[in-house]
């Protein structure tokens, strides 16, 4: 597609519910990143894929967070047993190159997760 | 470790006035630096980037930034603010394998 597509745009979950957030990167983009943006804060790194390999998951806040990119294109971020502190905008970004930081990223519009 | 500090969480300028958003960085390696803009309910859009070429970097929408190694700064400027510039602006620096963002500065444009 022309841009990075994220779905759903908004998600309301009851505390304890599992959620799955989808990211469809730009076709052919090798690198894919997930960030968490709390209200009034900058994006915080969660995890990074190069093709299907998850090379860095150091930013995942707990073992309730899990991300996958099985075929090297679409990625899913799953949050189990959601808690109120998980409420945030989850941003996905992709980049053509392996040295993604050099080129910058293309971001999706994000998924706003509200846990009630 | 790499990090950026944005000075001022809110900045207000009058329409037509100079825009100056401040960013200082810390990096143990030669830095690559970025400015992104975020409009309400949207993702981040790259304004400009510094990757060790020219120290004065020109970006989209009339913005530019100057890399000053002696001051570890990468401030964003625009000579004349427009109402459409009202948004959140993020300074960022490359980390080991990712981009690390500052906390952001919200720019308000006064009529």
Interface of A with B in 22-81 (CB under 8 A): 33, 35, 40-45, 48, 55-56
pLDDT of residue B28: 83
- What is the DSSP code (8-state) at residue B85? G
Name the E strands within A25-69: 31-37, 44-50, 53-56, 65-68
- Find residue A113's DSSP bridge partners: A11, A88
Give the integer Cα–Cα distance in Å for B34 and A104: 8
The mean-pLDDT minimum among A51-60, B52-61, B79-88 falls in B52-61
Give the integer Cα–Cα distance in Å for B17 and A33: 36
Give the integer Cα–Cα distance in Å for A18 and A82: 6
Closest by CA position to B106, among listed B76, B86, B79: B86
For residue range B43-82, list pLDDT tens digits in order: 899 999 998 778 999 999 999 999 999 999 999 999 999 9
Subunit contact A110:B45, Cβ cutoff 8 A: no
- Tokens 């075929």 found at: A71
Q: Is the pLDDT of residue A100 over 60?
A: no
- Pairing between β-strand A106-107 and β-strand A111-115 as defined by DSSP bridges: unpaired
- Inter-chain CB pairs, A–B, below 8 Å: 61
Confidence band of A99 (pLDDT split at 50, 70, 90): low
Residues in B touching A91 (Cβ below 8 Å): 43-44
pLDDT of residue A102: 66
Q: Is the pLDDT of residue A19 over 90?
A: yes
Q: How far is the alpha carbon of A43 from chain B, nearest alpha carbon, in Å?
A: 6
Give the integer Cα–Cα distance in Å for B32 and B94: 6
**Per-residue burial over A41-76, b = 16 or more CB atoms within 10 Å of its CB, e = otherwise:** ebbbbbbbbbeeebebeebbeeeebebebeeebebe
Give the integer Cα–Cα distance in Å for B15 and B110: 6
pLDDT of residue B64: 97
For residue range B1-44, list pLDDT tens digits in order: 889 999 999 999 999 999 999 999 998 888 899 999 999 888 89
Helix (H) or strand (E) holding B100: strand B99-101
Residues in B touching A101 (Cβ below 8 Å): 32, 94-95, 97-99
Confidence band of A23 (pLDDT split at 50, 70, 90): very high
pLDDT of residue B94: 87
């Amino acid at each position: 597609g022309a841009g990075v597509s994220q779905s759903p745009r908004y998600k309301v979950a009851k505390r304890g519910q599992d959620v799955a957030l989808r990211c469809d990167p730009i076709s052919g983009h090798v690198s894919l990143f997930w960030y968490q943006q709390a209200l009034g804060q900058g994006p915080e790194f969660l995890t990074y894929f190069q093709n299907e390999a998850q090379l860095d998951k150091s930013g995942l806040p707990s073992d309730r967070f899990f991300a996958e990119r099985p075929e090297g294109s679409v990625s899913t971020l799953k949050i189990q047993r959601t808690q109120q502190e998980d409420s945030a905008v989850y941003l996905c970004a992709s980049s053509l190159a392996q040295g993604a930081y050099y080129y910058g990223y293309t971001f999706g519009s994000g998924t706003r997760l509200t846990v009630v | 470790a790499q990090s950026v500090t944005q000075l001022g969480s809110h900045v207000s300028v009058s329409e037509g006035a100079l825009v100056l958003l401040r960013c200082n960085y810390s990096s143990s390696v030669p830095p690559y630096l970025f400015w992104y803009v975020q409009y309400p309910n949207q993702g981040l859009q790259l304004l400009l980037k510094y990757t060790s070429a020219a120290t004065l970097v020109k970006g989209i929408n009339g913005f530019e930034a100057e890399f000053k190694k002696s001051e570890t700064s990468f401030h964003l400027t625009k000579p004349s603010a427009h109402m459409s510039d009202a948004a959140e602006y993020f300074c960022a620096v490359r980390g080991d394998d990712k981009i690390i963002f500052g906390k952001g500065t919200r720019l308000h444009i006064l009529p």
